[in-house]
Structure 1
Amino acid sequence: MNENAPEGVAVDDARSREILGLGWGGVAHFADLLAQEGELRGLIGPRELPKLWTRHVLNSAAVAQFLPETGSLADVGSGAGLPGVVLALMRPDLEVHLVEPMQRRVEWLREVGEELDLDNVTVHQVRAEELHGRLLVDAVTARAVAALDRLAQFCMPLVAPGGRLLAQKGQRAEEEVAKADRVLHKLGVVEVTVHAVDMLGDGDVTRVVEARKR
């Protein structure tokens, strides 16, 4: 355990509880685990610890409002579990697949799943491309994985007809969408929307690219 990690990383305020809903307790526990072990295990950098709760954990909930009412979700490039673990805790009714090729990250995700009793989660130690033709879900999420044109190529084949890709992006989201237009069309995308989400009402906007499949 990292003795230098801050204790009680979660901010227990009305806004955090409103965002996370019934997932609050589990997400707070997850945040503490990540603060204690994340740097030692190469999951997060030391500079990320002071902003772990707002910039990473709460930020992972930005896509929650765009998830399907029922069904399944695949989080591609889950890494430390952002956003996949947070979303699985918020939406225990969804079947969640965490897709991550790196062994040490997979070990972490499996340990977290056991610690948090996430019986709606399956961890796959593969690249997303290896699941093409084997897994179809109602939504795919991805956070800080790749540029949209590349991301779409290995995520959209996992999206069932009528489903969507939800990619968390930075300030250049619109540019990425424009650049990926031809690729998205070829992959069966019929509508793309860039949502500006201000999680805390402080002007710090997260952009969620929603690409809907025909």
Structure 2
Amino acid sequence: MSVPDAAASVFGDELGRATAYADLLATRGLEWGLMGPREVDRIWDRHVLNSVAVGHAIAPGASVVDVGSGAGLPGIPLALARPDLRVTLLEPLLRRANFLTGVVEELGLGERVEVVRGRAVGPDDKDPLGHHAQYDVVTSRAVAALPRLLAWCVPLMAPTGSIVALKGSSAAGEVSDAAADVARHRLKAEAIPVTTHDGADPTWLVVCTR
């Protein structure tokens, strides 16, 4: 699998680990059922480079939780592109959590990336896997529609925190449709187009703040 030229500018000194991660997605990720066969040729552009887009809305030194991390997207590429961040990969499924733990160990990211087997829940939820910590930024990628995502993510937000969700081109419409839910959580939401590198198609973020 060839490494795109843009990867060097995005990952800099971490290009080697980013390449190793992309290779893990294309091999073990495929074997474990975390990536579909059709995704292998699109791992760099659609998954690894695309995930870095969330970093455009994250301040230096922030603590970040990746909700429903799955194969580590966007959390692992974000951690590689932004070594200043402390990233928690939150994943309820044991198989996926084991995959993430192995990847973090193999890439040597343990000092700034933590894997937690758990799920985002409300503050009064008694789910044994419920995760109740709070973070500067709560991020996600292709997890759920905005109303459900807010219910999961708002309890994880620090008092001055934000939600930064990777969405598709319909992000603005999703924000408009969820206006009542956004207001109920006493948040402000906006859809923001960003590009991860020169020549890339825009990626949309939904950013929610108090």
Fold in common (TM above 0.5): yes
- Give the superposition deviation at 1:95: 1.7
State the alpha-carbon separation in 1 of the partners of residues 13 and 200 from structure 2: 25
- Give the superposition deviation at 1:200: 4.3
- 137, 140, 146: which one aligns with 1:139: 137
Say which SS state the counterpart of residue 38 (structure 1) adopts.
helix
Given residue 205 of structure 2, which amino acid in structure 1 is its aligned partner? V
State the TM-score, normalizing by the size of structure 2.
Answer: 0.90
Q: Is the 8 A contact 2:86 2:113 kept in 1?
A: yes
1:123 aligns with 2:115: yes
Structure 1 alignment gaps of length 5 or more:
1-7
State the alpha-carbon separation in 2 of the partners of residues 193 and 201 from structure 1: 24
State the alpha-carbon separation in 2 of the partners of residues 39 and 167 from structure 1: 25
The equivalent residue for 2:158 is 160
Matches within 5 A, 1:170-189: 170-189=168-187
Q: Is the 8 A contact 2:10 2:81 kept in 1?
A: no
Shift in alpha-carbon separation, 1:200–1:87, aligned structure 2, 3 A: closer
The equivalent residue for 1:107 is 98
Matches within 5 A, 1:71-86: 71-86=62-77
1:38 aligns with 2:29: yes
- Give the superposition deviation at 1:48: 0.3
Q: Is the 8 A contact 1:20 1:61 kept in 2?
A: no
Alignment: residue pair count: 201
State the alpha-carbon separation in 2 of the partners of residues 151 and 92 from structure 1: 26
State the alpha-carbon separation in 2 of the partners of residues 121 and 55 from structure 1: 22
The equivalent residue for 1:10 is 3
Q: Percent identity?
A: 43
State the alpha-carbon separation in 2 of the partners of residues 78 and 10 from structure 1: 23
State the alpha-carbon separation in 1 of the partners of residues 84 and 60 from structure 2: 9
- Give the superposition deviation at 1:66: 1.2
State the alpha-carbon separation in 2 of the partners of residues 84 and 64 from structure 1: 10
State the alpha-carbon separation in 2 of the partners of residues 71 and 170 from structure 1: 24
1:90 aligns with 2:81: yes
Q: Is the 8 A contact 1:169 1:208 kept in 2?
A: yes
Given residue 128 of structure 1, which amino acid in structure 2 is its aligned partner? A
The equivalent residue for 2:196 is 199
State the alpha-carbon separation in 2 of the partners of residues 185 and 50 from structure 1: 40
Given residue 110 of structure 1, which amino acid in structure 2 is its aligned partner? T
State the alpha-carbon separation in 2 of the partners of residues 31 and 71 from structure 1: 25
State the alpha-carbon separation in 2 of the partners of residues 124 and 67 from structure 1: 21
CA RMSD of aligned residues (A): 1.5
- Give the superposition deviation at 1:9: 4.4
Q: Structure 1, residues 156-198: CA drift from partner, whole Å, max 9, x if none?
A: 1111122111111112111211122121222231x32211123
Shift in alpha-carbon separation, 1:22–1:211, aligned structure 2, 3 A: farther
Given residue 204 of structure 2, which amino acid in structure 1 is its aligned partner? R
Shift in alpha-carbon separation, 1:198–1:91, aligned structure 2, 3 A: closer
Q: Is the 8 A contact 1:9 1:32 kept in 2?
A: no
Say which SS state the counterpart of residue 39 (structure 1) adopts.
helix
State the alpha-carbon separation in 1 of the partners of residues 17 and 191 from structure 2: 29
